[in-house]
Amino acid sequence: MSTSERSSAFHAEPLFSELPKPSQAPVTVVSPMMALPPTLTPKQILVHHSADDWEEFIYEWVVALKEAEYVDVVRMGGSNDRGADIAAFLTPRKTDDVWHCFQCKHYDKAIAPATAYPEILKIHSAVAEQQYQVLPERYMFVAPKVGGSLIQLLAKPSALRTGFFDWAEKNKTRLVQEYAGGALDRALGLARQSEFSRFEAGNLDKILAQHATTPQHVKRFGVPLPDRPASLAAPPEHAPEEARYIQQLLDVYFEKWGCSPASPDAARAHPTAGRNLQRQREAFYRAEQLRIFARDSVPAGTFESLQDSVYSGVAEVEEDDFDTGYTRLKAVLAAARDMQLGTNVLLQVVDPDDRKGICHQLANDDRLHWVQEEL
């Protein structure tokens, strides 16, 4: 058969018989207006903060600073803040001794020298008038945007000093009225003796990186929780803080298998009770690790709220009639594993063993009981 014949034969007899084409569902194209908006970065969120929210954010950051061992940090902002929005004290003598000042500025535009000069005058006047005993060792302007001209001046204290006194001279008529009774001369006299190297501007990228180590970061910016550390095995020996929930389990094992409730040794020696006890202890320590993780990663009270949610979900189960404490224990743990827990931010990292462990934390606090004939 020639090539042309083979070709004709191929086209004459198709390999597949023609079938009706299946109907295709219409393709739905999501309108740009219906698509989810892009997630804002923490830096973009800060731009939209109010002045009060910005000051609160800076306060959270200063409190968490590890490089300075502050004995206290206070918010002093307001219409009469005397040149300091946030003060951080390095000694119990507070502003009578070494302290740091953080001046919060939240404007649509980048702050410039014209923003800084009045604040520099204000802090010198506060000290000259003995509202503070000494000038702050460090004085930091913190703003979402700091202009290049101000950054350059802060990098060269001698130029900052010159610019400040030039500004004061040009605005002397107004400043004399604002700082009356010789207050202007006293403030400028102190400024002439002052080290302008104390003035600086905060770096927002560095501030955000440090704030990310605080429990407030997740709530403020809605970012995912940090990775949770790998769980550690329960220690071989029972710790004193385990006493109550362990005793409750020993009572279960005594009722179920006759193991002596006076010591964990009898339960450990029992083939089933021993394995069960070990699993419950692993779950308890898993929940304890979650509690510590929460303390360092989310606002105070978040973990306690999760505990309350678990308790609310299992309390009705615990109150049911059961033949033994063992069946009650199993039913409560199963309910905790399967229940819906709402919107607590820790649910991002909670696993079934955490839920079981929280039940044992509740038993440790006598909020849950397994063997109830004496209650």
- Token pair in block for residue 62: 């200063």
Q: How far apart are the first and last CA of the chain?
A: 98
Closest CA to 214 of 298, 143, 288: 298
Using the predicted structure, report yes or no on whether residue 228 has a pLDDT greater than 60: yes
d(CA 213, CA 375): 45
Give the predicted TM-score (pTM) of the model. 0.73
Rg (CA), the chain: 34
- How confident is the model at residue 78, as a pLDDT? 65
pLDDT (mean) for 332-337: 98
Check: CB of residue 183 under 8 Å from CB of residue 129.
yes
Which sign, positive or negative, has the C-alpha torsion 267, 272, 276, 278?
A: positive
Per-domain residue ranges of the chain? 44-221, 240-364
Using the predicted structure, report yes or no on whether residue 154 has a pLDDT greater than 60: yes
- How confident is the model at residue 373, as a pLDDT? 72
Closest CA to 116 of 100, 128, 105: 105
Q: Which CATH architecture has domain 44-221?
A: 3-Layer(aba) Sandwich (3.40)
pLDDT in tens, 248-270: 999 999 999 999 999 999 999 99
pLDDT (mean) for 37-59: 90
CB burial class (10 A; 0-12, 13-18, 19+) of residue 250? buried
User: What's the pLDDT band for 163 if we cut at 50, 70, 90?
Assistant: very high
Strands 138-142 and 99-104: parallel
pLDDT in tens, 80-125: 668 899 999 999 999 999 999 999 999 999 999 999 999 999 999 9
Strands 199-201 and 72-75: unpaired
